[in-house]
Amino acid sequence: MLRIDTSQPDARRQIDSLRQKLAPASGDVVSEAGRKKTMEVFGEPLTPVEVVDRICRDVRERGLDAVLEYTAKLDGAELTAETIRVPQEELEAAHQAADAEFLACIRRIRENVLKFQTEILHSDTTVELAAGGWLRQRYLPIERAGLCIPGGAAAYPSTVLMTALPAQAAGVKQLAVVAPPTPFGSYNQDLLATCHELGIREVYRMGGAQAVAALAYGISSPPRSREGLGEGQNKGTASSPSTDPHPGPPPEGEGVIGKVDKIVGPGNLFVALAKKHVFGDVDIDSIAGPSEVIVIADETTNAEWTAADLLAQAEHSPGSSVMITWHAPLIDEVDREVESQLAELSRSDLTRQSLDEFGALILVRDRTEAAELADTLATEHLHITCSEPEEMLDRIRAAGAVFLGPHAPVAVGDYAAGPSHVLPTGATARFASGLSSNDFLRTNSVISYTEANLQSVADDVLLMANKEGLTAHAASVSRRVK
């Protein structure tokens, strides 16, 4: 892990470099394997941004033909209009075969999350006016949301919980889950059982940019032929009948996959760039980079536990693990513990890669500098495990989720506590917030005026309208208050 001493001249450069690595996806960097795959699929060395633009455009123009083509070429899965959606019988079978203890765990977590997400939910507010009218702020759930569930290197039924339950607490009626067609994705039995337990009946075997585009634009026509794909023909029409054996209730009519109002959930670089691409056609939660944690520690901190916390985040691979402390001996203690515990992990090679690329042990002058640095990095997860943790919390404004004290590791937020684990990354916690039930609400204001109310503001409205030269605006009031 990188060691940084803020008293040294090059400390700022090192911190800036670390922050840049954690920035949300710019799409400029691609691995050698990624470049090779791009050449295989597209026949030219496209950047990730160009790849996503191409995929999203193809899905918008060619519908399910394009989704199936990219699923075959990128994921190696040959699917059809009949098999891209997980059948209801398969969801039921996964639920029936699930371990009873696992389902009981899911139900306990569901209770925790729904309790928290319901308690924080916005409710209508009405302001009564003196002359008899009133003003109201009204909150209504969106109709339909798409949930992106990763499935590359590990299975994440927890992400189903942390995306679906806030939406359900808000009152969203229709949820569509997309997960890549892999053993860790939409073929994972625990994931399917979790979906069924939560009442989710729409689960699609697709991932990556093509899944995001399908949710954003909707797929209303099945493929007719796999021949000749890639030549730019539009092989489907909006009026073609769906062959999906389990058609859902898309808001725009019958179709293979209904267009959603909002897309949420984590994913790789291509998912992040695709969400950025479709924003405006639909709402999104965020454009996320690598998962990250900052641990603020001092002489009271348990080095063994802190090393475990850093390793837990690095295990995501990519995942950033940073400790900030003003107690110099703790640097060596934690470093030794990290090396000792690393050998025990099932994903030790990937975890070490994350530590080498995104890990840092930072020595600062005092608590004040620790708080300033934490705000600068504006991390996804902030674990304050020094003395007087609440006093330190009062100094810090920017973090996606905060964990106070030695008995609140980030894992409890990932799995069970109540707040969603879908959080802002890459210093975007300066202006962004974690996913919650309120993100699935849309709001509008309602103005109900009596004649007396209108009379009371007429002069001000007329003055402002005339100042701006909007005479029709002025007339719409003056004609009522002659």
- The amino acid sitting at 241 is P
What integer is the mean pLDDT of 411-439? 94
Go through the chain and tell me how many residues it has: 482
| 331 CA to centre of own chain | 32
Give pLDDT tens digits for 181-225.
999 999 999 999 999 999 999 999 999 999 999 999 999 755 443
Mean pLDDT of the chain: 89
By C-alpha distance, which of 97, 86, 98 is closest to 151? 86
Of 177-186, 234-243, 380-389, the one with minimum mean pLDDT is 234-243
By C-alpha distance, which of 210, 162, 197 is closest to 66? 210
What integer is the mean pLDDT of 394-423? 95
Sorted by where each begins, the domain ranges of the chain are: 2-24+289-417, 88-284, 454-478
Of 252-256, 273-277, 427-431, the one with minimum mean pLDDT is 252-256
What integer is the mean pLDDT of 254-280? 90
Residue 123 dihedral angles phi and psi, to the nearest 5°: -135, 160
Q: Are 394 and 375 in contact (CB under 8 A)?
A: no
The position carrying tokens 């995929």 is: 55
pLDDT reading at 316 higher than 50: yes
CATH of 88-284, one of 3.40.50.720, 3.40.50.1980, 3.40.50.970, 3.40.630.10: 3.40.50.1980
Give the active site residue among 196, 277, 380, 421: 380
Give the architecture-level CATH label for domain 2-24+289-417.
3-Layer(aba) Sandwich (3.40)
Q: Classify strands 174-179 and 202-205 as parallel, antiparallel or unpaired.
A: parallel
Give pLDDT tens digits for 447-470.
999 999 999 999 999 999 999 999
Give pLDDT tens digits for 22-72.
776 655 555 667 778 888 889 888 888 999 999 999 999 999 999 999 999
Asked if domains 2-24+289-417 and 88-284 share a fold, the reply is yes
Give the active site residue among 381, 383, 421, 473: 381
| 381 is a catalytic site residue | yes
Compute how many other C-beta atoms are within 10 angstroms of the C-beta atom of residue 308: 15
| 101 is a catalytic site residue | no
**CA-to-CA distance for 145 and 177, rounded, in angstroms?**
9
